[in-house]
Amino acid sequence: MSKPAIGFCGLGAMGFGMATHLIKQGYPVTGFDVWQPTLDKFKAAGGVPSTSLSESAKDKDFYIVMVATAQQAQSALFPEDGIVNNLPKGATLLLCSTVPSEYAKSVEKELKEKGRDDIYFIDAPVSGGTFRAADGTLSIMAGASDPAIEKGKWLLDELSAPTKLFIVQSGIGAGSNMKMVHQVLAAIQILSVSEAFGFAARLGLEGKEVREAVIKSEGWSWMFENRSVRTLGEDYFPGASAVFIILKDTGIITSMARLLNFPTYLCTAAEQVYLSGVDRGWGPNDDAGLVRLWTSEPVSSINGNLSPEEKQAKLDLVVSLLVGIHFVAAAESIAFGKHVGLPLQQLYELCVEAAGGSAMFKSFGPKYISILEGKGEGESVQGPFDGLKKAVDEAQSIKCPLYLGGAALNLLVSSKASLEGLLALYTVR
């Protein structure tokens, strides 16, 4: 039997990979984008390019929207000549963009108001980066009605790794909430890459040696391993992931947190630094380039002429900085997940192997969850506290700003360096 035709809106870095993966699997894919060079590239990859939303949706029983923002999704879905009005009866619609959960719920409501509740709608944000998009091994967080999941699961399976499709209970909005809480980790840990490299540069450490030391340490994160390649190569123009994108995701987090009266200490600090980058005109550049806030010299060319003993001591400070930041980031994300009603074990299973993963999240996530579920007791975490304190003290002495490191240390001081005390700082009274 021939495979069903699929419509696709949004052929950006992630969307292009997803759409061309489906083409490689033998599906006829009609792709819409506003940028003609992208459509030309899509045609060369075997897709059917379209400059008309209505034509891209006509006769498509399955349609995927992968645009950058909720505003773009709205302008694609609901105009007279948009996607919704031109989908056939009983079509399945996947919204894979990272959007606020309230927006995903509004789409479901508007479909009903427009008499299109025959459409099986799935709130299905994705994570994993461009390579996993192209390989069909994304992590996908899907929330929808049971009938919609049943209709669209084969397509979700095609786009995700075998163990990385997470069906989140509670329907539309649940998938977006899961992605939002995952992005708490991403928002903090993307910036921590630049903060760590910037600190290292001020200490006189060469970037390649920093990368090698961090990757084999407890300071490891998926974001560090991924972004550090571009930091070392100064691959910022335009790079693979613009500052505008992580700023948008961070804004979703902080806006929702304010709405729910939930404190997002590190995400709020990160947002301010992202805004500083945008203020310098770096919004379209790769987020790995934020290291330029600390040093104008390429981190790969730093030469501090340090003795082996001095070098190791300073590398330990950089690792301690990352350990402390990631330790607090894990608490912030899991506590927020608890606050918005997510299943915490599922959240852990998703994040630990996704782009938000870190050594600290892997080690301490289960302990945080156990405390929040009333099954565990607090314990002292003097190691991360002492290490972070040394790093911040050294940064102060060399006049190096540590936005995340300073904020994380204040939280650990307030928590009296205990797991239970740290989580208590995120308890909404």
Question: Domain of 22: which CATH number?
Answer: 3.40.50.720
- Let me know whether 38 and 128 are in one domain: yes
pLDDT of 429 higher than 60? no
- Let me know whether 32 and 92 are in one domain: yes
- Let me know whether 135 and 50 are in one domain: yes
Task: Give CA–CA dist 104/101, Å, rounded.
Answer: 5
Cβ(419)–Cβ(363) below 8 Å? no
Report if residue 191 sits inside a domain. yes
Task: Give CA–CA dist 230/35, Å, rounded.
Answer: 25
The H-or-E segment that residue 8 falls in is strand 6-9
Cβ(119)–Cβ(87) below 8 Å? yes
- Let me know whether 159 and 225 are in one domain: no
For 90-122, how does the pLDDT look when each residue is reduced to its tens digit (9 = 90+)? Answer: 999 999 999 999 999 999 999 999 999 999 999
pLDDT of 264 higher than 70? yes
For residue 396, the one-letter residue type is: Q
The domain of 199 spans 177-425
For 50-91, how does the pLDDT look when each residue is reduced to its tens digit (9 = 90+)? Answer: 999 999 999 999 999 999 999 999 999 999 999 999 999 999
Widest distance between CA atoms in the chain: 72
User: DSSP 3-state assignment of 94?
Assistant: strand
Give the model's pLDDT for residue 376. Answer: 75
- Let me know whether 71 and 191 are in one domain: no
Neighbour tally for 80: CB within 10 Å? 8
Cβ(6)–Cβ(30) below 8 Å? yes
Q: How many domains does the chain have?
A: 2
Cβ(183)–Cβ(252) below 8 Å? yes
Report if residue 1 sits inside a domain. no
- Let me know whether 248 and 374 are in one domain: yes
The H-or-E segment that residue 48 falls in is strand 48-50
Report if residue 267 sits inside a domain. yes
